[in-house]
Structure 1
């Protein structure tokens, strides 16, 4: 075990003691305070960016977190499924038992009530993004365990995408809505679906899946800006660090199945722009230097731990290990609480949010795992 894996192990052990329950930046809607949705999303944002944890006053208890459970599950399956057998069994069973009732097919949603400006969600509602993160974890788990129950969940979710999810297909392009029944064009969502199909192809290779991936790659090329960036969505043109990393990571996975000259140029241009405009030297910036939101968000968040974690994951996967390690060392120096063993949320020019959010610990556990594994494989 290398020195970085010790940080990962501490993150897992600390969270495991609490049965992986914790608080989340978006959990304000779980409080007993009732207000109109338009106001609720704004107050929720204030609660998110506050450097003071107000949850004890708001009577928001630590809760299960579907996304962090999926990411922790992924990290442990990738790192050492035998070492973490007990924790993996717990999270696998929890994820399996937490199926959303919205569809007969397997999917997941938030385990707590949450509210954003764009939409609200909570228990009982399927989230495409959360379901995909769980799928990525189950793919990794199936790879090392050959557990048929995990494969059944993967196949069930694939049926959901194929038969029920809202998607828009033309002769050469394909994209999936962020929401199941309402048109909502969010670029990284479709990219992640492409990643899902690339991993699905490893188990069930077919020309049909290959064709889906090509169409998704064509779509991502179509919606890529001239400078190589991708906005968040059709309605929100700002560019941030971690969503860009999601898109690039997904293209990298799709390229393990099929790549074209155009998709290679798309990836290279996107990666070059990401490095140039989403970083200051080797410090991840939360927003793109040129495409940032024209509101208070760009002033409040300078670097967030998801930016750090997903930059480490991306650079590890594409073989830029020195860059990944530089960012990892920076995060340990600037964002890690040595005494308590957790990573902080974000910083800006005025303050640093030092609240211990469980999902952020999961992201860093996965980032460290991805880097450590790649470093070991490079030595071998």
Structure 2
């Protein structure tokens, strides 16, 4: 696995970790009606042919992949990759969002989904959280005060300005800062952030927040143990399920209840039963797939593979993680050019080299190596 990470990092470091992303269609130089952009963005994402040169889309910086690479390299070998780590830390600090005074991060390129559009300067809760996870890892290694300042600043953003809903028993955070958007894994990741924050600044208030978040996650769990993506989109997919499980695992390092333990165990059992065929992770849950074209187009995506490896490594199921990793290298890794593919279905495999997917698999290999 050393050679795989070495090749990925070497290939990308010469380009300052720039690359293409499945969601970068909005950066196209072609003038199109705004109502078509999200639809064409989806087609561009699932196409096995890379049309970006014709569309005028060039390699761009990628905030999320930079955060993934930073976390991966800090875990894997912080001494060997010290130059790359310093570069990624500086980039993430210098290229912060300007939407809030407090530290946050967003997309470094124009992007469009059916749900919303975003781009440079705007804050993404999810990208900010992945950046925080990387900063916690880097701070643990270095004690860099700039990292700690960013972590504290982001916590102030969550506490004072981000839209959230709290009562005596539950707490959940909106996906968007000023608009109600109930996406379950977003709140779970905030819980993971608070669990990591607790290790630096332990307090009863943080414990109470974590208990309320766990109570919320129990309240929105399906009877079979799964979680939908959101209130509006009840389908269940592989990698978002892992985000839930991984976040609960971290919260349980600080606090847990009988109900939250049962929640985790039932969710893990359902995940293993309904999100795999042998060593191959399935992109969608066998019983809760979307009733549209997406369930026909993607059988297995690299994020499903990477996050399954991360989860099973963390919870001590190393043999299962190793089986999935070996399957991924055999089926998704281009040994000639040194990168991982995007996804496959029954008809074709998308072999486009996306920078963020290399970050995901680098993090998966790092977590596997750490726990093995």
TM-score calculated relative to the size of structure 1: 0.97
Residue number in structure 2 paired with 1:295:
292
1:128 aligned onto 2:125: yes
Gaps of 5+ in 2: none
Residue number in structure 1 paired with 2:311:
314
Residue number in structure 2 paired with 1:342:
339
For the residues of structure 2 that align with 1:36 and 1:267, how far apart are their CA atoms?
45
Q: Give 1:11 shift.
A: 1.4
Q: Give 1:33 shift.
A: 2.1
Q: Give 1:102 shift.
A: 0.3
For the residues of structure 2 that align with 1:294 and 1:256, how far apart are their CA atoms?
37
Note the alpha carbon deviations across 1:234-292, whole angstroms, 9 max, x for none: 00000000000000000000000001110000000000000000111221000000000
Note the alpha carbon deviations across 1:67-111, whole angstroms, 9 max, x for none: 000000000111121111110111100000011110000000000
Q: Which moved more, 1:31-40 or 1:105-114?
A: 31-40
TM-score calculated relative to the size of structure 2: 0.99
For the residues of structure 2 that align with 1:270 and 1:243, how far apart are their CA atoms?
12
Note the alpha carbon deviations across 1:95-150, whole angstroms, 9 max, x for none: 00011110000000000000000001001110000000000000000001011111
1:33 aligned onto 2:33: no
Structure 1 segment 1-380 matched on structure 2, within 5 A: 4-375=1-372
- What is the alpha-carbon root mean square deviation over aligned residues? 0.7
Note the alpha carbon deviations across 1:137-171, whole angstroms, 9 max, x for none: 00000001011111000000000000000000011
Contact residue 5 and residue 372 of structure 1 kept, 8 A: no
For the residues of structure 1 that align with 2:35 and 2:275, how far apart are their CA atoms?
31
Contact residue 198 and residue 253 of structure 1 kept, 8 A: yes
Contact residue 5 and residue 369 of structure 1 kept, 8 A: no
Contact residue 177 and residue 183 of structure 1 kept, 8 A: yes
For the residues of structure 2 that align with 1:19 and 1:126, how far apart are their CA atoms?
22
Q: Give 1:37 shift.
A: 3.3
Q: Give 1:5 shift.
A: 2.8
For the residues of structure 2 that align with 1:192 and 1:50, how far apart are their CA atoms?
30
For the residues of structure 1 that align with 2:249 and 2:202, how far apart are their CA atoms?
18
